[in-house]
A = this chain, B = another copy of it.
Amino acid sequence: MNFDYTPEVEQWRARMRDFSERHLLPANQAWHRESAAGRHPIELLDSLKSLARAEGLWNLFLPALRPHEPGTRLANLAYAPLAEIMGRLPWSSEVFNCNAPDTGNMEMLHLFATPEQYDQWLKPLLEGEIRSCFAMTEPDVASSDATNIRTSIRRDGGDYVIDGRKWFTTGALHPRCRFAIVMGVSDQGAEAPAHRRHSMVIVPLDTPGVRIVRNVPIMHHYATDGHCEVEFRGVRVPAANLLGEEGAGFALAQARLGPGRIHHCMRTIGQCELALDLMCARALERRAFGKHLADYANVQDWIAESRLEIDQARLFVLRAAALIDGAGNQAARVDVSAIKVVAARLQTRVLDRAMQVFGAMGLTDDTPLAFLWSWGRALRFIDGPDEVHLRVVAKHELRRAREAAASLAPYFTPPAIDA
């Protein structure tokens, strides 16, 4: 057991922090002003992407599988602390071609794309030339239970025909977004078992019948790249656009989610660290009723509790990353559910405290806190609601307990009672 980053990881962290200080932080205000003015800051991003790629900070998220692909693909345990640094500027992951949902799509395509799909869709994604989105959640059903998903993917001759409505399709408004991976019911007759009825297809966004209905605000925040409601009406794509095989939708989704959740969690840790930095700085600077806020014991408690919670959560996430690296997504399934809940709750808790220390300013857009808090609230649904993940953990624990129950008898100590 060893809690230090390896020297190699420390080097990566130094390079990332250095890049952030030299290039990202100086661009932060410009990014926000462009976005606030309703303009996509794509030129800013393009120039930063060139810089990052030139410095070898590219595709860091993708554990090595095939040679000759662009980028520097690290183990999850090595990537995690870099995702933490990226988290401090929520828009910065794309600079390193490491942003959701493209990362998850690239992972799936990496594992399951046919050679043609590889060339047409994955290669330009790996190069950062195009963007993609992932259409899973539906407005009309509780999508947390993915068996509820209703969008139909119907085979019709050499095509699939897609009909349905999705929302929270992130990235669909990015000017370079070219395709969606769509999850839907391919087994209309419900002949297969419940978890073998869904499939995924690649749907180019310019296919007739695809309509981006609106950019859905999350806690009043409109993402530049969109969390979109998208309508699919009689959308027809060639059968070759099927990802994996028919009925493999759930299996694909599982493959997608392990590392993606690690990324989310580590970015969340980074955001919480930023919030703690800001909270402390504000507490040291502001005075009320004759003392600095930092001198009030309740504010000190908030600071200390944030530190306790962040450090614990980080270790927990890193352990899950190590488990994925060592034993694979499936073996880490319960651990990944666990960190998802921990990270989402951590964010709202730490951010809430930071906002309180900032007073009214914490509610405005002048600090990153309001956005991060909103994002944290959304994280309690993104990648599945907390309740679903708690259930996964509980069921695992109960299975374990069922085996151990017999050995617990010696721990009970009722008094000897004569008959």
Contact = CB atoms under 8 A, between A and B. Distances in A.
A4 to B, nearest CB: 6
Contact of A370 (B32, B220, B276): B220
Interface stretch (A150-158, A240-248, A372-380): A372-380
Contacts of A323: 3
Contacts of A1: 2-6, 9, 77, 318, 322
Contacts of A367: 411-413
A216 B361 CA distance: 10
Interface stretch (A139-147, A197-205, A255-263): A139-147
Given A1-B6, A342-B312, A415-B36, A394 B303 contact: yes
Interface string A357-381: 0011101111110110110011011
Interface in A323-342: 323, 338, 341-342
Given A297-B296, A411-B28, A286 B338 contact: no
A401 B280 contact: yes
Contacts of A167: 360
Given A29-B410, A296-B297, A142 B371 contact: no
Contacts of A341: 304, 308
- Chain A contact residues (Cβ within 8 angstroms of B): what range? 35 or more
Interface stretch (A44-52, A64-72, A127-135, A384-392): A384-392
Nearest to A4: B1
Nearest to A29: B413
Copies in the complex: 4
Contacts of A380: 356
Nearest to A213: B417
Contacts of A32: 413
Interface string A289-324: 100011011111101110110011101101100110
16 contacts: A1-B9, A3-B318, A28-B411, A29-B410, A88-B411, A219-B219, A274-B411, A276-B397, A278-B411, A297-B387, A303-B393, A308-B338, A315-B319, A356-B380, A360-B381, A367-B413
